[in-house]
């Protein structure tokens, strides 16, 4: 026990009329929605890095949070104190999952041997903690972007020695994720991209990335890891051009290297908006290509263009996202990880709870709205009817590859009518969504 959250009672569901800021109003974990409980649908995860590692510093100022485990050296004792605090938080919040980077949980390391030893030492402790906790591991990942050695990328680095270090980190983190029962493993591109083309061989770097991810997949089979591997698209920040800029780009890359049936995506709304897409677009593109995996829920700020990683609070946006997630079959191994951080002035332990309670309530409402939208068939009925022409006749033959330009052109001339445009009913459909957002 860390003692850090002792003054906060376990968070309970009290319903929408409750005045208690430290209670759930909508996140009723056991409530059934479309045949599954809210907890089973959402698979909520708390992330280690924003909540327990970041100390509140920004580019102009020092840390503001004063969390005791971040006060001194990041040694094994501090890593264990942080682990205690993290599991105390998980127990009080009661969410089913957490996520971590290797460097979030372990004592700082400089050499490869130190990395292996320090990581192994904390993985033993995490395993012990998990043995009497409800919280399971949603996914693990290796941080290959913070240390200066990764300045020019990890697997896309011009120096193969850096790629060796990356291989070491991913091997150990994937094996730890497997040992801890993780449902997935995430590869965020970090610095896999470039700042100036003048010093970069893009073709060479893409080849390195393709080979590296192939080796990760091979290792997954070698160790018998049954979870999924997901790439997390992001268009820029930290590098100007990231190779995995959005879901469609990632799909093209996976297809090029024959990985499209092995690797899916972990979508983050703030990354989607930085790429000029909305959240539901990224979800539906992933559904269309069959690579939907998991979500790092958060939001950006519409007035600025960087990755502010704020907790989500837009009910309509998340109703839309949950609608397309459910339409695609919902989460399987993936879940709702909050890759979000409280603002720098929100320095108290309570603030971490307010942030997660509010976002879990928001997602529960969005889920219930989305389920009602699905059941009403108002959107799907409209779309099905809009594409009904493709079920029969030449439309069906075209999709089956059984017609050609000659036959279609002849059919058009025989009918000899210019097709009459049909309304797309955008405003009507937007009204439907508004009326289901409650």
Chain residues binding Co ion by CB under 5 A are 268, 296, 339
138 vs 368, beta carbon nearer Co ion = 138
What's the min distance (Å) between Cβ of 307 and ligand XUL?
Answer: 5
What's the min distance (Å) between Cβ of 89 and Co ion?
Answer: 19
Q: How long is the chain?
A: 438
What's the min distance (Å) between Cβ of 402 and ligand XUL?
Answer: 45
What's the min distance (Å) between Cβ of 234 and ligand XUL?
Answer: 6
Q: Are 315 and 368 in contact (CB under 8 A)?
A: no
The item of Co ion, ligand XUL, none sharing an interface with residue 340, based on CB under 5 to 8 Å by kind, is none
Q: How many CB atoms lie within 10 A of CB 392?
A: 9
39 vs 268, beta carbon nearer Co ion = 268
Joined tokens for residue 181? 């029962």
What's the min distance (Å) between Cβ of 18 and ligand XUL?
Answer: 32
The item of Co ion, ligand XUL, none sharing an interface with residue 234, based on CB under 5 to 8 Å by kind, is ligand XUL
Q: What residue has token string 């339409």?
A: 327
- Closest to 373 (Cα-Cα) out of 25, 2, 33: 33
232 vs 246, beta carbon nearer ligand XUL = 232
Respond yes or no on whether the N-terminal peptide bond of residue 238 is cis (omega within 30° of 0).
Answer: yes
107 vs 144, beta carbon nearer ligand XUL = 144
Which residue blocks in 258-404 are alpha helix, DSSP H? 269-274, 279-289, 315-327, 349-376, 378-386, 393-399
Distance in angstroms (rounded) separating the CA atoms of residues 22 and 304: 31
Distance in angstroms (rounded) separating the CA atoms of residues 99 and 101: 7
- Closest to 180 (Cα-Cα) out of 228, 210, 140, 234: 140
274 vs 368, beta carbon nearer Co ion = 274
Instruction: Give the dihedral sign, CA 400/404/405/406.
Output: negative
Tell me the β-bridge partners of 413.
none
Distance in angstroms (rounded) separating the CA atoms of residues 133 and 131: 6
- Closest to 99 (Cα-Cα) out of 318, 266, 324: 266
Query: What positions carry a catalytic annotation?
Result: 101, 104
The item of ligand XUL, Co ion, none sharing an interface with residue 41, based on CB under 5 to 8 Å by kind, is none
What's the min distance (Å) between Cβ of 141 and Co ion?
Answer: 9
CB within 8 Å of 180: residues ≥ 6 apart: 123, 126, 127, 130, 137, 140
The item of ligand XUL, Co ion, none sharing an interface with residue 166, based on CB under 5 to 8 Å by kind, is none
Joined tokens for residue 274? 């930085």
Joined tokens for residue 376? 């009403």
What's the min distance (Å) between Cβ of 225 and ligand XUL?
Answer: 18
Q: Are 319 and 282 in contact (CB under 8 A)?
A: no
Distance in angstroms (rounded) separating the CA atoms of residues 248 and 239: 19
Indicate the DSSP class of residue 15: -
Tell me the β-bridge partners of 287.
none
Report the C-alpha dihedral over residues 378, 382, 383, 388, rounded to 10 degrees: 140
Joined tokens for residue 201? 């061989």
25 vs 50, beta carbon nearer Co ion = 50
The item of Co ion, ligand XUL, none sharing an interface with residue 187, based on CB under 5 to 8 Å by kind, is none
339 vs 361, beta carbon nearer Co ion = 339
Binding site for ligand XUL (CB under 6 A): 101, 141, 186, 188, 232, 234, 268, 296, 307, 339
Joined tokens for residue 40? 């089973």
Q: Which residue is nearest to ligand XUL, using beta carbons?
A: 188
What's the min distance (Å) between Cβ of 268 and ligand XUL?
Answer: 5
The item of Co ion, ligand XUL, none sharing an interface with residue 141, based on CB under 5 to 8 Å by kind, is ligand XUL
135 vs 141, beta carbon nearer ligand XUL = 141
């Amino acid at each position: 026990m860390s003692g850090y959250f002792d003054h906060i009672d376990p968070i309970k569901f009290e319903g929408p009329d409750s005045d208690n800021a430290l209670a759930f109003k909508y996140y009723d974990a056991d409530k059934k929605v479309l045949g599954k409980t809210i907890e089973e649908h959402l698979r909520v995860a708390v992330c280690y890095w924003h909540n327990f590692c970041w100390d509140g510093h920004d580019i102009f100022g020092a840390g503001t949070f004063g969390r005791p485990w971040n006060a001194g050296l990041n040694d094994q004792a501090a890593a264990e104190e942080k682990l205690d605090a993290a599991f105390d938080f998980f127990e009080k919040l009661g969410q089913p999952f957490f996520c971590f980077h290797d460097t979030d949980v372990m004592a700082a390391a400089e050499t490869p041997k130190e990395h292996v030893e320090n990581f192994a030492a904390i993985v033993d402790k995490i395993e012990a903690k998990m043995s009497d906790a409800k919280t399971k591991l949603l996914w693990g990942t290796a941080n290959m972007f913070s240390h200066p050695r990764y300045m020019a990328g990890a697997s896309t680095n011009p120096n193969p020695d850096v790629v060796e270090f990356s291989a070491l980190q991913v091997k150990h983190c994937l094996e730890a994720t497997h040992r801890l029962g993780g449902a997935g493993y995430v590869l965020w591109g970090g610095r896999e991209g470039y700042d100036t083309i003048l010093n970069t061989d893009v073709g060479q770097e893409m080849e390195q990335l393709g080979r590296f991810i192939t080796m990760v997949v091979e290792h997954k089979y070698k160790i018998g890891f049954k979870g999924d591997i997901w790439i997390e698209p992001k268009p820029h920040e930290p590098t100007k051009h990231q190779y995995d800029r959005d879901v469609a780009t990632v799909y093209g890359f996976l297809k090029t290297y024959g990985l499209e049936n092995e690797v899916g995506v972990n979508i983050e709304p703030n990354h989607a908006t930085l790429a000029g897409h909305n959240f539901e677009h990224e979800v539906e593109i992933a559904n269309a290509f069959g690579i939907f995996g998991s979500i790092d829920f958060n939001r950006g700020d519409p007035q600025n263009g960087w990755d502010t990683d704020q907790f989500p609070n837009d009910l309509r946006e998340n109703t839309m996202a949950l609608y397309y997630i459910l339409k695609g079959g919902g989460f399987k191994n993936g879940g709702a990880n909050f890759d979000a951080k409280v603002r720098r002035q929100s320095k108290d332990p309570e603030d971490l709870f307010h942030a997660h309670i509010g976002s879990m309530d928001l997602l529960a409402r969005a889920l219930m709205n989305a389920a009602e939208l699905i059941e009403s068939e108002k959107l799907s009925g409209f779309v099905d009817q809009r594409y009904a022409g493709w079920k029969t006749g030449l439309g069906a033959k075209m999709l089956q590859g059984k017609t050609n330009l000659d036959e279609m052109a002849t059919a058009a001339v025989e009918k000899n009518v210019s097709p009459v445009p049909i309304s797309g009913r955008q405003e009507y459909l937007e009204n439907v969504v508004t009326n289901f957002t409650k």
